[in-house]
Structure 1
């Protein structure tokens, strides 16, 4: 056993401490001198930690993107279900033409459907590669989920003022003529 320091010997002789307490204190001092102090991380450890952090960040970004894609697919499925459950049966021999972006599309309708489209109570929506007619209430549900599915909605612009030519005299003259919403081209 290592030689105790003079203070420890004096405390032992005086009976203030036991031999086991002295040896315990000596062991703790040795551990403190030769003990495991936190070692500064090496360059390779720092690099490994940085790579782990970057991988975790990439994984979080990929997971967020995956969740967003899943949410978009869920919204598209809801839109498809709303359209399929609310579509109005199309019948008739009269052609109804409407704009689909830069293209002019044609749909066969009867006179009642034509009036409902012109009044805005029916809306044309996109379903896959085709088009369907749905009531206004269903179109509002669709608009909440995906505005790009709405192709033609004559009722949404009803609150706007009449377009102006910029000349008050001409506007007053042309105001006397009624222009129908359901012109057939």
Structure 2
């Protein structure tokens, strides 16, 4: 007993002829290639969509990181804010080539000049903060710091070519 394929059985029974068999084979090959093409197109569109969503997520994460950084800076300023004393001394400083003025007392003026205090801008208002906190803020968002003076002793130590030569105390001019 030999096993015949369905095509052979249909041909023997006279239900189909050779032409119809060849046509059926061709159409089944076409449907397979069509299925492969459709699957490839679906995979391409799916990967493109995933890439697009990944880029959108990346943008959202970057925006969220900027918001978190701004919140950290705001918190640092508010936690370290030094209250402006009721003084009569106007302290002038420049921001973007524009002269700004805050009113402080003489002690705060000296601290600003010596680099003990710094000035930060928060929502358009200038706040006094300690120089240490200003350095932390400057690392995160340098555009928030309006003024931070470097102590004169530090400048002298870095740039002084005569630092090794001591000036005698009894020198008369």
**TM category, shorter:** 0.5 to 0.7
* Alpha-carbon distance between aligned partners in 2 of 1:142 and 1:51, rounded to the nearest angstrom: 45
Q: TM-score, normalised by structure 1?
A: 0.62
- Unaligned 5+ runs, structure 1: 6-35, 163-185
Describe the shift of the 1:156–1:112 C-alpha distance in structure 2 as closer, same or farther (beyond 3 A).
Answer: closer
Counterpart for residue 68 of structure 2 = 74
* Alpha-carbon distance between aligned partners in 2 of 1:127 and 1:77, rounded to the nearest angstrom: 11
* Alpha-carbon distance between aligned partners in 1 of 2:65 and 2:49, rounded to the nearest angstrom: 24
* Alpha-carbon distance between aligned partners in 1 of 2:122 and 2:151, rounded to the nearest angstrom: 20
- Give every structure 1 segment of 4 or more consecutive aligned residues whose post-TM-superposition deviation is greater than 6 Å: none
* Alpha-carbon distance between aligned partners in 1 of 2:3 and 2:76, rounded to the nearest angstrom: 88
* Alpha-carbon distance between aligned partners in 2 of 1:129 and 1:47, rounded to the nearest angstrom: 54
Which of these residues, 148, 153, 172, is aligned with residue 148 of structure 2?
Answer: 153
Which of these residues, 112, 132, 135, is aligned with residue 137 of structure 1?
Answer: 132
- Unaligned 5+ runs, structure 2: 5-27, 161-173
Work out the number of aligned pairs and report it.
132
More helix by share: 2
* Alpha-carbon distance between aligned partners in 1 of 2:2 and 2:41, rounded to the nearest angstrom: 46
The reply to whether residue 95 of structure 1 matches residue 90 of structure 2 is yes
CA RMSD of aligned residues (A): 2.8
Counterpart for residue 177 of structure 1 = none
Describe the shift of the 1:46–1:4 C-alpha distance in structure 2 as closer, same or farther (beyond 3 A).
Answer: closer
How far does the alpha carbon of each residue in 1:131-174 deviate from its partner, in whole angstroms, 9 at most, with x for none?
A: 10100111122122211111111127843648xxxxxxxxxxxx
Please report how far the alpha carbon of residue 4 of structure 1 lies from its aligned counterpart in structure 2 after TM superposition: 5.3
Structure 1 residues 4-153: aligned runs within 5 Å? 39-40=32-33, 41-91=35-85, 92-153=87-148
Q: Contact (CA 8 Å) 2:119, 2:148: kept in 1 or not?
A: yes
How far does the alpha carbon of each residue in 1:61-110 deviate from its partner, in whole angstroms, 9 at most, with x for none?
A: 11011111111111111111111111111121111111111221110011
